Amino acid sequence: MTTSSIPQINVGLIGGGFMGKAHSLAYAAMPMFFWPAPAIPVRHTIAEVNEGLARTAAERFGFQNSTGDWRRVIEDPNIHVVDIATPNNSHAEIAIAAAQAGKHILCEKPLAPTVAEAKAMLGAVRRAGVVHMVAFNYRRTPAVALARKYIEEGRIGRVLSFRGTYLQDWSADPSGPLSWRFQKDIAGSGTLGDIGTHVVDLARYLVGEISAVNAMMHTYIHERPLQSGGADKLGASDKNASGPKGKVDVDDEVLTLLRFENGAVGSLEATRNAWGRNNYITFEIHGTEGTIFFNYERRDELQVFFNSDPADARGLRTVYTGPAHPYGEGLWPIPALGIGYGETKIIEAYDFFRAVTEGTAVRPNFEDGYKTELIADAIVRSAQQRREVEVEPVTV
Ligand code: NAI
Ligand code: SOE
């Protein structure tokens, strides 16, 4: 196959922060990993909050054009894919406008800060008939995809239970500034929407639909120093901060029990106040015939116990992901050379552009994002009402 037979697809990326960087890297690298690539993503236009920031982002991330107004991206008939990498409160407005303009959409997680916005977004992409994806990238870690393969193949039998955690420590220090992630009107919720939803996505991907929750939520640090401007510092401590403080009105910690439609039970714990934990996404899944354990901080590894193993070789053992495993054909040639955060985004871009060029659906999509919001909403109501709460049905 020659390069000329691979479609070039123009991308308009909105938001040039942390995720703007990760997605730009993925667009540049995806064809280098997966060849023949489903498409060559062309970094056409990047939008930021003003012209200066947009120009800098274009130069840094390799975009041909820049704009200080995201609406220019939507209006441009040469742009076919809109990538939304802005804080949560702008996802719905941008996505609905992009869908109405017939653009395919990759939107960062959480899909939206509220159920109502997520529902409107799903309605818009369905009406437009465009490809849509929500960027819960951790399910694209090869070891996580391998866990799903083992479960689908029945290697651990019927799933009985799921224990998921997402523990970080970047918000444990009270002198960490008031990131937008601590403000309800921008983020929607705190730890729950920011990282708890990643675990919800993994639970749904690996075990199935969640029908009910029984939750507790807590806020430990109620005010933080105002950030003086510039890029979001993601809580990086400023010990000398002596200026004014602003109110934190979101949760720091969420814990919930989970009931799955298929009869499995589980739990989810998430906090950004766990000193010493960095990106500690773990799950342990017990089935009638075995166990699977994953820890993102050792993301090349999947620990497995299969009841079918010979009696003299029993024990949790480590499988190192590599060419024999999901996405192995495009990644590195020797197991455990090292999968990074970047690779999860490269794989995400690969699957998204495959769907765009083949005209097929990809998951997790806006329906998954909407369902995740319904679960997050049930968690909030359960914590408020101090009782088990059923997840509301999909109504789009
Ligand atoms: P960030 O604060 O680092 O960057 C956001 C950028 O968007 C900023 O540069 C800001 O100036 C720009 N922006 C804000 N409003 C805009 C507008 N109306 N038009 C154009 N640009 C605008 O935030 P970060 O970490 O990149 O987060 C963005 C989104 O990605 C959030 O929804 C977040 O939850 C999600 N995220 C997902 C991750 C994942 O692992 N999938 C990791 C980090 C963030
Ligand atoms: C901060 O908690 C954060 O950047 C989240 O917003 C991301 O979704 C997560 O992947 C990494 O941590």
What DSSP string runs through 229-247?
Answer: SSS--TT---TT--S-EEE
Number of C-alpha atoms within 13 angstroms, CB side, residue 384?
A: 6
Residue nearest to atom 9 of ligand 2 (CA): 195
Say what the pLDDT of residue 236 is.
Answer: 73
Say what the pLDDT of residue 384 is.
Answer: 98
Say what the pLDDT of residue 371 is.
Answer: 98
CB 58 within 8 A of CB 65: yes
Look up residue 387 and give its DSSP letter.
S
Can you list the residues of the chain whose pLDDT is less than 50?
1
Ligand 2 pocket, residue 201 CB under 6 Å: no
CB 300 within 8 A of CB 338: yes
Say what the pLDDT of residue 241 is.
Answer: 67
Q: How far is the CA of 8 from the centre of ligand 2 (A)?
A: 30
Residue nearest to atom 10 of ligand 1 (CA): 15
Q: Is the ipTM of this complex over 0.90?
A: yes
Measured CA to CA, the distance from residue 124 to residue 365 in angstroms comes to 13
Number of C-alpha atoms within 13 angstroms, CB side, residue 6?
A: 16
Say what the pLDDT of residue 240 is.
Answer: 60
| Residue 158: alpha-carbon gap to chain centroid | 27
Q: How far is the CA of 334 from the centre of ligand 1 (A)?
A: 34
Ligand 2 pocket, residue 195 CB under 6 Å: yes
Count the neighbouring beta carbons within 10 Å of the beta carbon of residue 22. 20
Say what the pLDDT of residue 209 is.
Answer: 98
Say what the pLDDT of residue 2 is.
Answer: 53
CB 375 within 8 A of CB 118: no
Say what the pLDDT of residue 228 is.
Answer: 73
Ligand 2 pocket, residue 85 CB under 6 Å: no
Q: How far is the CA of 16 from the centre of ligand 1 (A)?
A: 7
Q: pTM score, two decimals?
A: 0.98
Say what the pLDDT of residue 220 is.
Answer: 98
| Residue 327: alpha-carbon gap to chain centroid | 18
